[in-house]
Chain A
Amino acid sequence: MAPFAHHEGRRTFLRRLAWGASGALLAPALLQACGRGPGGGGEGADKEGADKKGADKESGELVISSFPLYIDPSRPGAPGSVERFQRDTGIRLRYGEDVNDVRQFFARIRPALAAGQTLPQDLVVLTSWMATRLIQLGWVEPLPFDRIPNARNLIPSLRNPSWDPEQRFSLPWQSGIAGIAYNFKATGRELRSIDDLFDPALKGRVSALLEMRDTMGLLMLADGKDVSRPNWSDAQPSFDRLERARRDGQIRRFTGNDYQNDLLAGNLAACIGWSGDVAQLALEQPDLRFVVPESGGILWADVMLMPKGARHPNAAARWMNWVYDPPQAARIAAAVQYISPVEGVQQILAKDPATAALANNPLMFPDPAKQQRLHVFGPLSEAEEARWDERFARITQA
């Protein structure tokens, strides 16, 4: 296993992301029409499912949609997780990296799910707030936890999130922290708090995330508010602050993943960013640092969900059980460098000299003191979310 060999891939990913974003921007309808990735196999799987209706044995292949480069890839002499899983279980797996943007992916699956049709995917990996939406809409199946014994390895801090309190519908894939990323050379000092982002000395060289829960969550924590039960009136001071900062030009941009390019190019001195990214970028640009603000960081999770009517629940359960086996999870963690949701990964990484350094990475394994400062953004009702989304959109995009 070569954990650092993956970095090249991350760079390529950034570039690909730019092009991918471009493509998506140009022709969302086209993308939808083509139904690339796992979707392409949809018809075949559909037919097989219909033919063997009532049969106990699942036929066809397991179909998963996830974010790009979010798993250890196969290398010469070192098969990746997808390959090893197929070898271990004999299950055919079509693993698609076709979730480039959560909102666009939602736009893609919405027509089928709203019409009560089955998606080709048996599992999708999406950000937790989108999981919340799908759970509230009743568009996902409960996970067959009786067939996922390894789910007991789920780390305590990610158990029973407020939006899936009984842990019925979701199982985390990876998790990470939204906090402050900054270029020490550009700021000339260490940053510690969200207030530092509003320092006039950094005017026009700060960005925030378009991911509302991360940006608003961090600002609300700085105001001393409880983000586990987000409340409209609690959020107003933070919204106002963000709006002022945008109007005054303090905030240069609101970004998705593209903040990484701006950080590397030196357009940004500081920004709201994600832990795993910064861990990767720091290898390229040693002045980059990531800090969990004094007032607390936002702990987010991308989770596995089973869309309504998924055809291969047993195979999906085997997959989830397999990736929750600590040795397998350790390989994934070493490649993607986010917080692994699986207990025991740290010990496994520590034993291997090639990965021992990662075991001490506080962004992958936050110590208890740090974990106390991490907060999960709570659920918003449909009506509430619409109101939040609208205000946030007016601030960030208008």
Chain B
Amino acid sequence: MPASPQRDRRHGGPRIHRPPSHRPRWPWLLLAPGLLWLLVLYLLPLLSLVPLSLSEPVSRFGLETVFRGRLANYQEVLQAYGPILLRSFAYASLATGLGVVLAYPLAWTIRFRGGRWQPLLMGLVVLPSLTSFLVRAIAWTSLLADQGPLLQLLRSLGLIAPLEALGVLHDGRLLNTASAVILGLTTNLLPFLVLPLVVAMQRIDPVLLEAADDLHAGALRRFTQVVWPLSRPGLAAGILLSLIPAAGDVVNPRFLGGPNNQMIANSIDNLLLVQLQAPRAAALTLVLMALISVAVLLQLRRGLDELPLP
């Protein structure tokens, strides 16, 4: 979208105060190492996947591939893995949605009730991320086990049947189900939602809430008319930060899912290491990258003017 209304808004909108000619050039020098890093370690490897994705292996176990302009690779992986792509984005979206629901009260509490404990509470949100996400996934397998503490609690509360009716439990279990994968994803992405939300809420002057209170706004209206609109930039950033890694996650489905709950990264892993089909793995990787990029662009387009720009 070269002439997007977004850009027009940015450049012609009221936010831009300085004409471009006054901008110094040295920020580009500061950016150079980062851009070089991205170019050499990210963009070039990614581009090298393009010819590979159109190639064919010369032999099954040899390393050489030969470029054939084989678009059929894309057709084949889309056909074979299309449903898993959909599943991956569905799981990632559900996890992000669940994360948002959990993150708002957390961020709210940290911001408005945290007081001097605020840094500590922020630290606690980040704390789980200090252990490897892999270790966490393996730990979840014990917590969610059929005879594990969580299910025993649910059993003693008589919640097995209702949760099964809701589709949260399958055959009376949690481990190796879609619910467990989404749960794992949610815990992984929660800090990425909470932190930007807290930062966004820092900019909400508590006086505004008091004013709303004075105007007899209930808790719900205070949230929908004050907190929500003012925190949306943080939310937009948080969703970006969590949706992307969640869609490409390989660990949670492997350890917490069953064979019907694997995600697209597992398919890529399998294509590359087990089926030894590097070209198809490359094609599927590029499809995933393209879909994620589209999602990011859509999100940016919607949320650009909400992001806290200088």
Are A and B a genuine interacting pair, yes or no?
A: yes
Q: Which A residues have a C-beta under 8 Å from some C-beta of B?
A: 18, 22, 25-26, 28, 103-104, 107, 110-111, 114-115, 133, 137, 203-205, 246-247, 249, 251-254, 261, 265-267, 382, 386, 389-390, 393-398
| Residue B66, interface by CB 8 Å | no
Chain B positions within 8 Å of A246 at CB level? 259-260
* Cβ of B48 under 8 Å from chain A: no
The answer to whether B258 touches A267 (Cβ under 8 A) is no
From the candidates A104, A110, A265, name the one contacting B142 in the complex (CB within 8 A).
A265
State in angstroms the CA–CA spacing of A245 and B73 once bound together: 29
In the bound assembly, the distance between CA atoms of A205 and B275 in angstroms comes to 28
Chain B contacts for A266, CB-based, 8 A: 145-147
On whether the beta carbons of A393 and B274 are closer than 8 Å, the reply is yes
List CB contacts (< 8 Å) of B174-231 with chain A.
175-176
What is the CA–CA distance of A117 and B133 in the complex, to the nearest angstrom?
37
B273 contacts A389, CB within 8 Å?
A: no
In the assembled complex, the CB of A186 is this many whole angstroms from the nearest CB of chain B, namely 10
Decide if A249 touches B262 in the complex (CB within 8 Å): no
Contact residues in B for A203 (Cβ distance below 8 Å): 171
Q: Which residues of the other chain, B, contact A104 by a CB distance below 8 angstroms?
A: 273
Q: How far in angstroms is the closest Cβ of chain B from A388?
A: 11
CA distance A251 to B262 in the complex (A): 14
Pairwise interchain contact A114-B63, C-beta atoms closer than 8 A? yes
Distance between B80 CB and nearest chain A CB, rounded to angstroms: 7
Cβ contacts under 8 Å, A115 to chain B: 63
CB distance from A256 to the nearest CB of B (A): 11
Answer whether residue B38 sits at the interface, using C-beta atoms and an 8 A cutoff.
Answer: no
Asked whether, in the complex, the Cβ of B80 is within 8 Å of the Cβ of A394, the reply is yes
* CA A7 to CA B77, docked complex, whole Å: 45
Identify B175's interface contact among A18, A28, A267, CB under 8 A. Answer: A267
Q: Which residues of A contact B175 (CB under 8 A)?
A: 267
27 contacts between A and B (CB under 8 A): A22-B138, A25-B134, A26-B134, A110-B61, A110-B63, A114-B62, A114-B63, A115-B63, A133-B61, A204-B173, A205-B146, A246-B259, A246-B260, A247-B260, A249-B170, A249-B258, A249-B260, A251-B258, A254-B259, A265-B148, A267-B176, A393-B270, A393-B275, A395-B259, A397-B266, A397-B274, A398-B267
Task: Kindly supply a per-residue 1/0 record for chain B positions 274-294, scoring 1 wherever the CB is within 8 Å of any chain A CB and 0 otherwise.
Answer: 110000000000000000000
Asked if B250 and A382 make an inter-chain contact with CB atoms under 8 angstroms apart, the answer reads no
From B60, B141, B258, B274, A252 is in contact (CB under 8 Å) with: B258
CB A335 to nearest CB in B, in angstroms, measures 28
Measured between beta carbons, the chain A residues less than 8 angstroms from B262 are 397-398
Residues of B within 8 A of A398 (CB): 80-81, 84, 259, 262, 267
Chain A residues with Cβ under 8 A from B61's Cβ?
110, 114, 133, 137, 382
Interface residues of B toward A: which range?
A: 35 or more
Contact B134 A249 (CB under 8 A): no
> Is B132 part of the contact surface with A, judged by Cβ < 8 Å?
yes
A132 to chain B, nearest CB (A): 12
Classify the interface of chain A: helix, strand, loop or mixed: helix
Q: Which residues of A contact B142 (CB under 8 A)?
A: 265
**Contact A22–B259 (Cβ < 8 Å):** no
- Residues of B contacting A396 with CB < 8 Å? 259
Q: Are B274 and A389 interface neighbours, CB within 8 A?
A: yes
CA distance A288 to B308 in the complex (A): 60
Closest to A267 in B: B146
Tell me, yes or no, whether B251 is within 8 Å of chain A by CB: yes
Residue of B with least CB distance to A210 = B274
Let me know if B135 is at the binding interface, CB within 8 A. yes
Residue pair B274, A204 in contact (C-beta under 8 Å): no
With a CB–CB cut-off of 8 A, which chain B residues contact A26? 132, 134
Kindly state the separation between the CA atoms of A254 and B270 in the bound complex, as whole angstroms: 13
B254 at the binding interface (Cβ < 8 Å): yes
Task: Please state if A22 and B134 are interface contacts (CB–CB under 8 Å).
Answer: yes
Chain B hits for A389, CB < 8 A = 274-275
Q: B188 CB to closest chain A CB, in angstroms?
A: 14
Given known A-B contacts A114-B61, A266-B146, A22 and B275 have beta carbons under 8 A apart: no
Least Cβ–Cβ distance between B273 and chain A, in angstroms:
6
Give bound CA distance, A26 to B259, whole Å. 20
* A25 with B171: CB separation less than 8 A: no
Contacts of A22 in B (CB 8 A): 132, 134-135, 138
**Knowing that A204-B173, A249-B170 are A-B contacts, what are 11 other residue pairs whose CB atoms are under 8 Å apart, sorted by A's residue number?**
A25-B134, A25-B254, A26-B134, A107-B273, A205-B171, A246-B259, A252-B258, A266-B146, A389-B274, A390-B275, A398-B267
Query: Chain B contacts of A103 at CB under 8 A?
Result: 273-274
Nearest B residue (CB) for A24: B273
Q: Which residues of A contact B171 (CB under 8 A)?
A: 203-205, 249
Residue of A nearest to B84 (CB): A398
Tell me the complex Cα distance, A160–B63, Å. Answer: 31
Is B259 a contact of A397 with CB atoms below 8 Å?
Answer: yes
- Whose C-beta in chain B lies nearest to the C-beta of A265? B145
Closest to B62 in A: A114
Residue of B nearest to A396 (CB): B259
Residue of A nearest to B253 (CB): A397
List B76-102 residues whose CB lies under 8 Å from chain A: 80-81, 84
Shortest distance from the beta carbon of B237 to any chain A beta carbon, whole Å = 27
| Assembled-state Cα–Cα distance A382/B59 (Å) | 10
B80, B141, B254, B274 pick with most chain A CB within 10 angstroms: B274
User: Judging by beta carbons under 8 Å apart, are A25 and B250 in contact?
Assistant: yes
- Minimum distance in angstroms from B245 CB to a CB of chain A: 14
**Cα-based distance from A114 to B60 in the complex (angstroms):** 11
Whether A382 pairs with B60 at a CB distance below 8 angstroms is: yes
A-chain residues with CB within 8 Å of residue B176 when the two chains form the complex: 204, 252-253, 267
